Amino acid sequence: MACYGSVLGFRIGRAGLGVHLMDAGDRPGITGGEEAQDSAHYWEGLAGMNNITDHTEMMLPEPAYALGDLLGVPVPNLAHGEGLPLLWHWVYLLDRPAQADLGADGHPLLGTIAASPRPGQRRMWAGGRVRTTAPLRCGEPATKRSRVLSIQEKQGRSGPLTFIVVGRQILQHERVVIDEQQDIVYRDGVSPTGQPPAPEEEGSTVPPANGEWAIEVSPILLFRFSALTYNAHRIHYDRDYARRVEGYAGLVVHGPLQALAMTEAARAARYRAGQHDVSLYFEYRLTSPLFDHQGMVVGATRKQDALVTAVRDHQGRRTATGTLRNA
């Protein structure tokens, strides 16, 4: 899944829980007297507005150890009841679609929350908000509850855009321990030229500052993260596809990987400050594509009562931002 927002000419703010639909007259396939009766059903049916899915599984420690090893970060003492760090639930309770349900780009076309409203569209993860209220522990079952919260149509610089906010709650012992909203954007795909984009000019390298964390990005890292999160989108591991079909300059660094790197930088900063709060609120935006040859540098800086996080490339271009505070 490509994961960026401002490059498309829009800005996502704090999303509400209401359902937002575009005007009936703007919806394709609906005309005349059918508008009032059928317009809402058209979009709700496509995106799964009426569906609430529950997925329950035992929380085993192995995915957490795998993520810790991937990023080179410490894993909590899971055997003694310590909870998973912020956003580590993304390697649990995964959707595992059938191979027959995948499209040519690797994304599922069927049996998924927030499916593409129109054929041939590109799906992007643009940001989100996560609130934790209690530890999510291994050794116990947990349930992920998913539904579409809102749908909105806009016109961006690149053409029509469909914004879908997906709500996900993680429950343990029938209590919500994580409440999350993910901002998904669909845009029309471009016709593949078969020719990769011209290489960009390399700027001067900005070395990591004191407190910044440089992560070596390689095709192996991206492939392993795709496998760990069961993400088959080819732009993360198939260079020819990413360049010749979707027109990217290289392999795309996952948005969730950038968000996880930001929360890990914040976790380290909070540990140094002696902070161990469980109830946290994290809001993040993915603002520009990041490619494997550009590196990844992550930082977390205290600003009043919050930690402000960011991801940049080796030349200093910012690709993601976030804010972490106590809930």
What domains can be seen in the chain, in order of their start residue?
6-326 (3.10.129.10)
321 touches 127 (CB < 8 A): no
Chunked in runs of 10, what are the mean pLDDT values of the chain (327 residues)?
42 32 31 37 51 94 98 96 97 94 87 73 91 97 96 84 95 97 87 63 87 96 98 95 92 97 96 86 97 97 95 97 96
Q: What is the CA radius of gyration of the chain?
A: 20
> What is the model's pLDDT at position 110?
78
> What is the model's pLDDT at position 136?
98
> What is the model's pLDDT at position 324?
98
> What is the model's pLDDT at position 114?
76
- Distance separating alpha carbons of residues 323 and 309, to the nearest angstrom: 6
Please give the structure tokens belonging to residue 59. Answer: 């929380």
Q: Which residues of 153-165 are buried (b: 16+ CB within 10 A; e: fewer)?
A: beeeeeebbbbbb
User: For the whole prediction, is pTM greater than 0.75?
Assistant: yes
- Residues 217, 218, 222, 227: is their CA dihedral positive or negative? negative
- Distance separating alpha carbons of residues 84 and 135, to the nearest angstrom: 7
